[in-house]
């Protein structure tokens, strides 16, 4: 078995793992990143694309903000549509902050390029990843690659390996409290090389179900509609999907929808999930390994960046200032932001979707709440504060 050594072993080369590795590199902390997929697969995954202002600031500090600055689309608001009415949530006017539309695929490419430029140690197409002795002062990670077994000895392990990765699984059941809600619907999405139907995102609640008009650039659009859980994407022809998108967005918005062949089409299940044991011994969880949010609030990537910002700060204090306070506070501080973000995503999901078991009273309450939002600056401000992004707490305080 070949031996490797580093300060932090990072499992998962998605945005969370890559960003953590990059931030650690900038303060002189070594890391090794393991990823079960190929590099082209990781770089090609199509994911969310709405970045909070705080996320952009973290990426810029990490040295990967140049292309984001040049190509990202700055949005000062977004719209909610219901009952033939539209309310624009004016983020900048209400909070002084904005969001930036820049695909997670592009964030991943930028981070991958930065790690390669710094000769970062990344291992792709690994298998049999196992975590050992995480409760000791000398944890390790074993894995196989190309038929050769390897062991990484390290000071800490960062589990950035997503909901189905091995990191969370090593925490004993009796030591982790998990909360989950699986929603009875999914999002059917289509990515197409057509101009968006609006300059900003539009969230639509209709009698036929939820729809979202989004974009990746001025020439590439991303649309989603609510569909039943368990539906087969093959049952949705592109013509049927475009017709349903237009129907749910309503006649005014539908007239601006430009259709085209799909670059990518798929169905994503919707769930809310939190594992409150974000630390176990020398193992720390970040991103989807610790939590999943419904995409309605555009928070998945942003929440992962928040975790990484906290964790990188804590590792910096530990290795460079012999200060353990951040590591001890990591889970508590991160979970405060996670639960607030979960609440916002849950609220937006319940507000804008149809549920199979909704009675007429529940449906009227949804409409009444939307009407209240449309007519209340205070409620619009609360939504804007959450959508633009909550501030980071001081993990070392």
Catalytic residue among 15, 123, 166, 203: 203
- Measure Cα distances from 265 to 39, 240, 252 in Å: 21, 13, 25
- Measure Cα distances from 191 to 110, 187, 254, 343 in Å: 21, 13, 17, 28
Contact 286, 304 (CB under 8 A): yes
Read off φ and ψ for residue 113, nearest 5 degrees.
-65, -40
Catalytic, 75? Answer yes
- Measure Cα distances from 192 to 195, 219, 234 in Å: 9, 9, 17
Quote the CA–CA distance of 98 and 75 in Å, as a whole number.
Answer: 6
Contact 269, 229 (CB under 8 A): yes
The closest of 162, 159, 167, 123 to 143, measured between CA atoms, is: 123
Cβ neighbours of residue 264 under 8 Å, at least 6 residues apart?
Answer: 46, 189, 190, 191
What is the pairing mode between strands 78-82 and 220-228? unpaired
Beta bridge partners of 178: 275
Catalytic residue among 25, 75, 123, 291: 75
What is the pairing mode between strands 140-145 and 85-89? unpaired
Contact 179, 274 (CB under 8 A): yes
Catalytic, 387? Answer yes
Contact 183, 294 (CB under 8 A): yes
Catalytic residue among 139, 196, 294, 295: 295
The closest of 255, 286, 309, 252 to 82, measured between CA atoms, is: 252
Catalytic, 340? Answer no
Catalytic, 223? Answer no
Residues marked as catalytic? 75, 203, 295, 299, 387
């Amino acid at each position: 078995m070949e031996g490797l050594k580093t300060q932090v072993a990072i499992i998962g080369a998605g945005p969370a793992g890559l960003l953590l590795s990059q931030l650690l590199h900038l303060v002189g902390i070594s890391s090794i990143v393991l990823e079960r997929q190929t590099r082209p697969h990781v770089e090609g995954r199509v994911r969310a694309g709405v970045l909070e202002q705080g996320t952009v600031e973290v990426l810029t500090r990490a040295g990967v903000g140049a292309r984001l600055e040049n190509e990202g689309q700055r949005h000062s608001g977004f719209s909610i549509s219901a009952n033939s009415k539209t309310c624009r949530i004016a983020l900048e006017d209400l909070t002084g902050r904005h969001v930036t539309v820049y695909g997670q695929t592009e964030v991943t490419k930028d981070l991958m390029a930065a790690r390669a430029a710094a000769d970062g140690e990344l291992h792709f197409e690994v298998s049999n990843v196992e975590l050992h002795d995480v409760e000791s002062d000398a944890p390790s990670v074993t894995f196989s690659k190309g038929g050769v077994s390897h062991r990484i000895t390290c000071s800490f392990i960062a589990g950035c390996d997503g909901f189905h990765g091995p990191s969370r699984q090593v925490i004993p059941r009796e030591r982790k409290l998990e909360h989950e809600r699986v929603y009875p619907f999914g999002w059917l999405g289509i990515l197409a090389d057509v101009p968006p139907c609006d300059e900003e995102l539009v969230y639509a609640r209709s009698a036929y179900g939820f729809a979202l008009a989004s974009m990746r650039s001025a020439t590439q659009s991303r649309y989603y509609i609510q569909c039943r859980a368990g539906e087969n994407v093959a049952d949705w022809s592109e013509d049927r999907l475009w017709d349903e998108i237009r129907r749910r967005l309503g006649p005014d918005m539908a007239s601006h929808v430009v259709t085209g062949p799909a670059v990518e089409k798929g169905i994503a299940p919707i769930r809310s999930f939190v594992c409150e044991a974000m630390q176990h011994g020398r193992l720390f969880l970040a991103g989807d390994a610790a939590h999943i949010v419904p995409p309605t609030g555009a928070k998945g990537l942003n929440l992962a960046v928040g975790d990484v910002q906290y964790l990188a700060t804590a590792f910096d204090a530990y290795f460079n200032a012999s200060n353990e306070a951040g590591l001890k506070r990591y889970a508590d501080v991160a979970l405060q932001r996670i639960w607030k973000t979960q609440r916002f995503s849950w609220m937006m999901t319940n507000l804008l979707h149809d549920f199979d078991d909704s009675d007429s009273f529940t449906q009227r309450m949804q409409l009444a709440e939307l009407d209240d939002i449309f007519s209340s600056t205070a409620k619009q401000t609360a939504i804007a504060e959450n959508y633009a992004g909550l501030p980071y707490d001081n993990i070392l305080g």
